[in-house]
Structure 1
């Protein structure tokens, strides 16, 4: 584990320590892995009420200039030009061989696009995107900004009194520029827990004021441990574990991110591999896995069937909502059907398991104003 004294810190580092956050190294930053209540309590608080996560380590940037949407489509198969103002989309940054450089969020703010990328990839992402831009379009990193994630069924009720704009009217993937606790903010109705919730981008100097206001409103502080167990139960891949530069969108079960128009034109990086795998099927597929018993299967656990290796676990742990272990991994396509019985080789012992559909816990995104789904 990295020495936290040599790591970068987010604007909320002092607050984390004040309220008992146990700091660890993650993506070059000192981040709270948990607070005194513990990971399971933080996880359950998110599922039942609302949890507050500091995700300021992630990369934020603006894409400015005439034709910014068309320019971004040079490096992603997502439909950016069709993205309406006030809306956000999940997208993949691709390489020429059809692998995933990163996954990211892009929001249309009307006069510019706003990007949020993974912390460990932000320098590479901004370089890759910048190199593909034509004259007149530029990418402007915003390291001066913090980012909070307020997640859970109670998030709307906690945020609404603090926001000047009508956050209750925001649907899933909606975007709103509105002050929160008097601090200018960019609010998106999104997150990575499977729950309804918001991500709140703010100037770094206002981060502690907003965080304290949300904690005072009833949000539970939550760290990296709960964030990981929540996204695993939600069946959401983590870059660097479940997807990387060798993984295609097809085998990663992320084909929903491929725009319909882009599948007609095939004018994006890696299109040849993606088209071939869509037509003929990939060699492997990302699947959900439910081990029998109580023993979790961690990343790199061998997946076997009939004495032969058919794949590997990429993420695994205990699912507090299920009170049972859960995992994700890749298996040969011929064995990827739901319900397929297999074995997980944990510490030299074969643990029975089966392939199961994801998410393990249903998503509760607010698809339309006034209802969660």
Structure 2
């Protein structure tokens, strides 16, 4: 255990209920996400990746803030925010959704949880959807209440996470299906548990509903999980890029639309329900897009960590796009990347070049996700 030390972003950057516990358990560096500290360094990121894919890791993702939508018109209002059809969403179900603006641009790509008939959570990526939703509500004419509840998620991810969950909650937890949730208690601590996560591995998210229990919950899970191979960790850039998972502000922003990302399945544009951006998205669908997200294999020495800038992509000397996320995968033994390029250069096998500060490298368009494209690992029922 390392000695507690000061991390200095100032008082305007909030700490999660697990902050002190993560420092005790070895967090050496933090980034900022949704105006909060998030642990980004528990030592070697490659070892963190192997811990995730071979065993299990526990991650403080309290930065995944919840927007809580309640009131008689909660279901209708929630549908207004997203182009995904929610009419068949059951209580207890989760869905990956996009929040779009009037031009069809992506504001966030959260997980939506339905806790009750008129009770929803948007579990956010890194942007201020609480303010957006409250602003939309003001002039919506709908009877809804939009708040940020005292909720802080943890991610328990990796092939041994099911075994650890069984040790914590008993055999009943093993029939929790992919993208469903359950209301539970652990030692009197109020929780929501879902079969979701940002890893493309078998995994669970454990939503603490009272921040006073943050330390106790972290220690309880680690004490139970240690004998089963659990390690403290952080969300893995290597694994999420292997899995083709988006990082908001990197791979998508307000100028990016769902069709450019190949997320047409999340847009039900012919449903009767109204939602923000409907006409813009119909126009984009009908007219087609000029650029698309692709996977790239980069031909260079192993990258020493993820990219910290957007790298320009060239085709025959002309700039045609940018690399948004890149990393070396020790499992694939390749440099892999997500990039946004013009549609003319998006075909599989297209040869491109990428410019970064240390020089130019060749690249080739490849299938994405790079590993387990059908997400069979995350979906598999390990009961």
Would you call these one fold, judging by a TM-score over 0.5? Answer: yes
The match for 2:80 is 74
Which whole-Å deviations, capped at 9, do the CAs of 1:107-137 have from their partners, x for residues lacking one? 1122412221124424434434534654422
Cα 1:221–1:96 shift into 2, 3 Å: same
The match for 1:248 is 257
Describe how 1:264-303 pairs up with structure 2 within 5 A.
264-265=271-272, 267-296=274-303, 298=307, 299-303=309-313
Residue 4 in structure 1 maps to residue 18 in structure 2: no
The match for 1:58 is 64
Residue 337 in structure 1 maps to residue 358 in structure 2: no
Q: Quick one: distance in 2 between partners of 1:340 and 1:69?
A: 44
- Residue among 333, 349, 353 paired with 1:323: 333
Residue 196 in structure 1 maps to residue 208 in structure 2: no
The match for 1:352 is 362
Q: Retained in 2: the 8 A contact 1:54–1:149?
A: yes
Q: Quick one: distance in 1 between partners of 2:212 and 2:170?
A: 19
Q: Retained in 2: the 8 A contact 1:77–1:258?
A: yes
Structure 1 position 247, deviation (Å): 0.8
Cα 1:133–1:19 shift into 2, 3 Å: same
The match for 2:324 is 314
**TM-score between the two structures when normalised by the length of structure 1:** 0.90
Cα 1:72–1:209 shift into 2, 3 Å: same
Cα 1:279–1:21 shift into 2, 3 Å: same
RMSD across aligned C-alpha pairs, in angstroms?
A: 2.2
Superposed structure 1 runs of 4+ greater than 6 Å apart = none
Q: Retained in 1: the 8 A contact 2:134–2:146?
A: no
Q: Retained in 2: the 8 A contact 1:312–1:329?
A: yes
Q: Tell me the number of residue pairs that the alignment of Structure 1 and Structure 2 aligns.
A: 364
Structure 1 position 288, deviation (Å): 1.0
Structure 1 position 294, deviation (Å): 2.2
The match for 2:240 is 231
- Does 205-214 or 234-243 show the bigger shift? 205-214
Q: Retained in 2: the 8 A contact 1:88–1:107?
A: yes
Which whole-Å deviations, capped at 9, do the CAs of 1:191-214 have from their partners, x for residues lacking one? 111111011101212222222222
Cα 1:47–1:181 shift into 2, 3 Å: farther
Describe how 1:203-218 pairs up with structure 2 within 5 A.
203-216=210-223, 217-218=225-226
* Secondary structure of 1:3's aligned partner: coil
Q: Which runs of 5+ in 2 are unaligned?
A: 1-6
Residue 153 in structure 1 maps to residue 165 in structure 2: no
**TM-score between the two structures when normalised by the length of structure 2:** 0.88
Residue 220 in structure 1 maps to residue 231 in structure 2: yes
Structure 1 position 333, deviation (Å): 0.8
Residue 186 in structure 1 maps to residue 197 in structure 2: no
Which whole-Å deviations, capped at 9, do the CAs of 1:296-341 have from their partners, x for residues lacking one? 4834111111111111111112223323221111110111112211
- Residue among 156, 169, 184 paired with 1:163: 169
* Secondary structure of 1:276's aligned partner: helix
